[in-house]
Structure 1
Amino acid sequence: MIAATTLTRADLADSVHREIGLSRAESSKLIEQILGFMCGALSDGQNVKISGFGSFVLRDKGERVGRNPKTGVEVPIEPRRVLTFRASQMLRDRIVKAG
């Protein structure tokens, strides 16, 4: 079994440096720009779709009533916007094969 690890921005920049040949500084800047574009689009209310990878989708959730599980007291939950990720079929297939 493969040990679980976390892919970081530095790992992405290092991969760009090795695969494409940009300097480490240029690779890091490119990764930051891509992530910045994605964050900006999401902040503006746009969804982000990366073909073959997946979609980052914003959803507005309405106000609802929740319960404190310990006491059972009803508590109003404010409306909010949530970010969800839906993996593409291609990514899901790759994950299943890797597992």
Structure 2
Amino acid sequence: MTKSELIALLASRYPQLAARDTDIAVKTVLDAMTQALVNGQRIEIRGFGSFSLSMRSPRVGRNPKSGEKVMVPAKQVPHFKAGKELRERVDAAFDAEVKAAGGFTEDSSYSESEGEGENPFAARIMHG
């Protein structure tokens, strides 16, 4: 889902809000979250998850074009950890899809080209 899709969904779900107001609200929330991370703060949204910063150490990388060694500096990167309720809801939706597709058995085969196997979810189950 993109930011514009989120704004459109909220505007349609809450018709008392003008689309412009919904746009401003979503942008304000995202800006506040961004600013909190910039300030080194942790963001926790109960039932959804938490955002924090992870430190990546400096390392030696390679330029893919020339193959020469390049120093990659240390940096902080945003990290998201899903909350328990979000993980359970996603897992329940996935289980419902598997059940609707005919279930999953341990001996289900998986074709090399995704989606052509007997079980359309085998790739995700096997690799994820």
Equivalent positions of 1:35-50 (< 5 A) are 35-50=30-45
1:27, CA displacement in angstroms?
Answer: 0.5
TM-score where L is the length of structure 2 = 0.61
* Identical residues among aligned pairs (%): 33
Higher deviation after alignment, 10-19 or 29-38: 10-19
Three-state SS of the structure 2 residue aligned to 1:83 is strand
Query: Which residue of the other structure, out of 19, 22, 27, is the alignment partner of 2:22?
Result: 27
Residue correspondence of structure 1 range 78-97 to structure 2 within 5 A: 78-97=73-92
Partner of 2:104: none
1:4-83 equivalences in 2 (<5 Å): 7-20=1-14, 21-64=16-59, 76-83=71-78
Offset at residue 64 of structure 1 (A): 4.2
Would you say how many aligned residue pairs link Structure 1 and Structure 2? Answer: 93
Which consecutive residues of structure 2, in runs of 5 or more, have no partner in the other structure? 95-128
Change (3 A) 1:10 1:67: closer
Partner Cα separation in structure 2 for residue 54 and residue 19 of structure 1: 23
SS at match of 2:41: coil
Q: Distance in 2 between matches of 1:50 and 1:76?
A: 36
One-letter amino acid matched to 2:92 = K
CA distance in 1, matches of 2:93, 2:37: 30
Structure with greater strand share of residues:
1
What is the alpha-carbon distance in structure 2 between the residues aligned to residue 33 and residue 74 of structure 1? 41
Tell me what 1:4 maps to: none
CA distance in 2, matches of 1:64, 1:97: 40
Task: Structure 1: state its 5+ residue gaps.
Answer: 1-6
Larger radius of gyration: 2
Give the TM-score of the pair, scaled to structure 1.
0.76
